[in-house]
Structure 1
């Protein structure tokens, strides 16, 4: 992995953050009754400030695991974990990286989509 390069990226990310502000939990899960912010809410809020400030990002899937787990009713759900590295760049070549881990359980087939190899 490349070493982070100091430069404009820190000021640019700070500018993006000040423009985005708070992303509210404006969606509601009707079944379990909880509020959440959707991924589309985050992408929509970030798009213009990132573009305006000349910041773009790439992602790399570092780890992905999916497997069935039993439910209380005797069925099965898919338990999925993923670790992703995000790298944010700007025009002077400086960048920062961040890693995030996600976890979900689903009784549907959304997670079963084929992934293309990243190598």
Structure 2
């Protein structure tokens, strides 16, 4: 007689099988969860400092793609790497190399925010200090921040999950294997050249400084417009370059700036 039968007999009950129990309550037994075999710790790994052990974990997690899709309607759609993907990648590797990641300090901040539908959500911004232990018992600390909002009291765990994901992806230097954004090439459009006529009012303005007049002359010279004819302050045609020089000299002679 097994333990189950002994316990049932001691309690004055008739023992039932697992199948009978499942049929009685309509539930299935927990699945047999197994983890991929990543090998045993070697003597070298057991003595490795925390930073060395963490680097070995990084070596196990080569890439995590942005395979999860967020569809926020008007808020936008984008692909992302969620905390579950990060944990599924780092969990086995950390256990293989004897690494423990534990939060040792949590600093949350809260505020209420209004939604466009007139509702109110609680926003949590959290800064978490994590301690990464190696197999030898030494450790190093690092930090990660997370932010989330929720109307049902779950903003804090959401923010902490985001902080953990941020830690694993950033401290683990995990690439996405996406195309490098710097690999994209583009040509800048040429800036439109300001016309000579558009400078006339500024040149004639008595409040335009001598320094600005010199700058205008430089701009006109760089765009090869010094010889362009414009209508000056007395209604006559004059080359704009000569006009700038003349007005600058007149103001200097009259004591203007």
* Structure 1, unaligned runs of 5 or more: 1-6, 114-119
TM-score by length of 1: 0.79
State the superposition RMSD in angstroms: 1.9
Count of residue pairs the alignment pairs up: 107
Superposed CA deviations along residues 41-97 of structure 1, whole A, max 9, x for unmatched, are: 111100111011111121123311222112233222221111111111122222111
Alpha-carbon offset, residue 30 of structure 1: 1.8
Query: Residue 56 of structure 2 is aligned with which of 15, 25, 38?
Result: 15
Tell me the equivalent position of 1:98.
142
- Aligned partners of 1:107, 1:29: CA distance in 2, in Å? 19
Query: Contact 2:129–2:144 (CA<8 Å) still a contact in 1?
Result: yes
Query: Contact 1:58–1:87 (CA<8 Å) still a contact in 2?
Result: yes
User: Whose helix fraction is larger, Structure 1's or Structure 2's?
Assistant: 2
Greater Cα radius of gyration, structure 1 or 2: 2
The correspondence of residues 26-105 of structure 1 with structure 2, limited to 5 A, is: 26-31=67-72, 32-105=76-149
* Structure 2, unaligned runs of 5 or more: 1-47, 158-257
User: Whose strand fraction is larger, Structure 1's or Structure 2's?
Assistant: 1
